[in-house]
Amino acid sequence: MGIVNVTPDSFSDGGLFVETAAAVAHGRRLLAEGADILDVGGESTRPGATRPLVEEELARVVPVVEALAGDGAVVSVDTMRSEVARAAVAAGAAVVNDVSGGLADPAILDVVAESGATYVAMHWRGHADRMQDLASYDEPGGVVAAVVRELSERASAALAAGIPADRLVLDPGLGFAKTADHNWALVAGLDRLHALGHPLLVGGSRKSFLGSLLRGADGSPRAVGERESASTALTLLLAQRGVWAIRVHDVRASADALAVLERLEQEHP
């Protein structure tokens, strides 16, 4: 899943593709590099980000979705808002990637159920301006048990709204109300998330837990633009653990790594 951020303030590439033409051209490059799905988002969810107006998000997202879907791409819309989900699906989006899992706007579940789109429900505890204050997992089993329980609740809500089980995908939400240690525990505990019975989407590309892993000699985290090798290594790990899709910024690096893995598995299934 290639990331198309149509935002001025995303943590990795905010502002690079905020104009429609630049975002469409970027999406086309990602397709040429091997993306299976293009995830188009108009709201930054980096820690501390403020939300755009609904009208702003619609103006950013819908023209890009329409253009890329018109090219024949499988397009996902990255939104928490039912209004944006409805408009994006009408413009050709086949997937609604909701980082709030229906908590920010419960009406989004009805919109998806009526639309026939695939729904991705991510683990989420609050908006970007306060989510890191919610990174506490004191129950027995820690973060993995909590995320399994809370995602199970979101899956039940999606199914109750009429979204078929075969159109429901779950995402553990790396970096959302999570410390670096929480993120690593979730990657290690993917088997427990698989046990919920739905495909998994995981997005760890260039995130801060990779930067903190790769600290320099002075103790400072590796800069966002210098985390790609670790992101590619994470792609391979996630693929070997059977996730449905891996959300990445650098599609070519991940696609090349997966080609190597696929060729090796032809020799040793």
Give pLDDT tens digits for 149-181.
999 999 999 999 999 999 999 999 999 999 999
| Enclosing domain of residue 253 | 2-267
pLDDT score at 11: 55
Beta-bridge partner residues of 170: 121, 200
**Structurally, how many domains does the chain consist of?**
1
* Per-residue DSSP letter, 171: E
CB distance 121 to 148 below 8 Å: no
**Sites in the chain below the pLDDT cut of 70:** 9-15
pLDDT score at 88: 98
Give which of 119, 77, 87, 84 is closest to 102, Cα–Cα. 119
Q: Per this entry, what is the length of the chain?
A: 269
Query: Domain with 49 in it: what CATH number?
Result: 3.20.20.20
Give which of 29, 20, 98 is closest to 58, Cα–Cα. 20
pLDDT score at 47: 76
Residues assigned a catalytic role: 207, 247
Name the residue with tokens 């103006």: 59
Angle separating helix axes 82-90 and 107-115, nearest 10 degrees: 20
Q: Is 227 exposed, middle or buried (0-12, 13-18, 19+ CB in 10 A)?
A: buried
pLDDT score at 268: 85
120 phi, psi to nearest 5 deg: -105, 120
Q: Can you read off the two tokens belonging to residue 181?
A: 């240690």
Query: For residues 193 and 199, what is the distance between their CA atoms, to the nearest angstrom?
Result: 9
Radius of gyration for the alpha carbons in the chain, expressed in angstroms and rounded: 18
pTM over 0.85: yes
Q: Can you read off the two tokens belonging to residue 46?
A: 């980096």
